[in-house]
């Protein structure tokens, strides 16, 4: 009789690791609340329900969950079809697949037809570090914000995602949500309200204002605190809605500080930094802008925390960037 093989506690166990990702519950919990409130929510995933936490929704509402398999383009088109019947579909897969592979389906089947589909791109940026280039999502903001009629949202953490999911029931346009891997540091308290198209001003500075989105917000707040210890006046603005961008918040920040710094886990071309630059150019603002992120390259392949440090997207790295810009 063959002996059962004992796995090493250090072995890479896919579902075991996902089970301890604290942020994975927010997506499903928000959808369950909407379903309990009577909204016609349906959810689906491309064979990644354990990576995005939708297994919780599938267990609670098995008749409202669709397992599409590894067929992301079909998932998006099917979600558009479901929306025509009055359903409120939320479909999720890796952001690299939604932001690139599914562009045509999102453009023609969802955005062009103005259907209220909610697209959840998870494991954004370089958070799937060791999976490699095929799974890095460093172009999805640029592709999604270029599609007319598509709202683009990059929540900072689980509570902000949950708030945005709940607020989306009254939003008329399709939405692309760009979220992390469930291990993102928490910035906001549960129940914090969310308004589409509005920035959240954490602080204002006269030397520097940092505009961040998504999982870089926590690191930006850390960096700002350290810079203030050295006597710099530094503000931090969370820009969760990248499209439509809060133009008033951008121009106000530019009018208050000598330098603006945008921070994103994305290529600096086409992302948040480009969106802010467009606002400043249109308004004729002379405020200096530094766009910080991935500088037009394919990311290295390594564990996520190693990559955040390498690309200066952790607290220490973001802190170092303005020290190069602001003379003392």
Q: What is the pLDDT of residues 83-122, one digit of tens each?
A: 999 999 999 999 999 999 999 999 999 999 999 999 999 9
Considering the entire predicted model, what is its pTM?
0.93
Strands 259-267 and 118-122: unpaired
pLDDT of res. 275:
98
CATH architecture of 200-323: 3-Layer(aba) Sandwich (3.40)
Rg of the chain over Cα atoms, rounded to whole angstroms, equals 20
Query: Where in the chain are the domains?
Result: 14-178, 200-323
pLDDT at 193: 95
Which residues of the chain carry a pLDDT beneath 50? 1, 11-12
Q: Which of 315, 316, 300, 322 is nearest to 128 (CA)?
A: 300
Per-residue model confidence as pLDDT tens digits over 186-217: 999 999 999 999 999 999 999 999 999 999 99
Q: What pLDDT does 84 receive?
A: 97
Three-state secondary structure string covering 86-154: CCEEEEEEEHHHHHHHCHHHHHHHHHCCCCCCEEEEECCECCCHHHCHHHCECCHHHHHHCCCCCEEEC
Number of Cβ within a 10 Å radius of residue 36? 11
- Tell me what pLDDT residue 221 has: 98
Query: Which pLDDT belongs to residue 14?
Result: 54
pLDDT at 31: 97
Average pLDDT along the chain: 93
CATH of domain 14-178: 3.40.50.970
């Amino acid at each position: 009789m063959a002996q059962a093989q004992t796995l090493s506690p250090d072995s890479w166990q896919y579902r075991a690791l996902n089970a301890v990702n604290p942020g994975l519950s927010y997506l499903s919990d928000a959808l369950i609340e909407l379903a309990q409130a009577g909204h016609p929510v349906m959810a689906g995933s491309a064979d990644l329900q354990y990576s995005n936490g939708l297994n919780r929704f599938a267990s609670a509402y098995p008749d409202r969950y669709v397992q599409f398999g590894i067929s992301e383009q079909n998932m998006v088109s099917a979600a558009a079809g479901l929306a025509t019947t009055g359903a409120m579909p939320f479909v999720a897969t890796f952001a690299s697949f939604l932001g690139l592979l599914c562009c045509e389906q999102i453009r023609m089947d969802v955005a062009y037809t103005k259907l209220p589909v909610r697209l959840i791109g998870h494991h954004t940026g370089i958070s799937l570090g060791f999976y490699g280039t095929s799974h890095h999502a460093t172009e999805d903001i640029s592709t999604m914000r270029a599609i007319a009629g598509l709202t683009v949202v990059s929540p900072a953490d689980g509570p902000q995602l949950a708030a945005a999911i709940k607020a989306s029931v009254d939003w008329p346009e399709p939405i692309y949500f760009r979220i992390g891997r469930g291990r993102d540091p928490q910035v906001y308290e549960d129940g914090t309200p969310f308004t589409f198209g509005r920035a959240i001003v954490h602080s204002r500075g006269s030397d520097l204002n940092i505009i961040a989105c998504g999982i870089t917000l926590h690191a930006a707040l850390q960096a700002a605190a350290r810079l203030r210890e050295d006597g710099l006046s530094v503000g931090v603005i969370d820009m969760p809605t990248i499209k439509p961008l809060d133009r008033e918040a951008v121009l106000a920040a530019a009018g208050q500080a000598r330098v603006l710094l945008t921070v994103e886990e994305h290529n600096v071309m086409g992302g948040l930094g480009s969106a802010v630059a467009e606002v400043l150019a249109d308004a004729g603002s002379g405020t200096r802008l530094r766009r910080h992120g991935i500088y037009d390259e394919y990311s290295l392949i390594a564990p996520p925390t190693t990559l955040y440090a390498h690309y200066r997207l952790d607290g220490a790295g973001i802190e170092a960037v303005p020290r190069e810009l602001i003379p003392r």
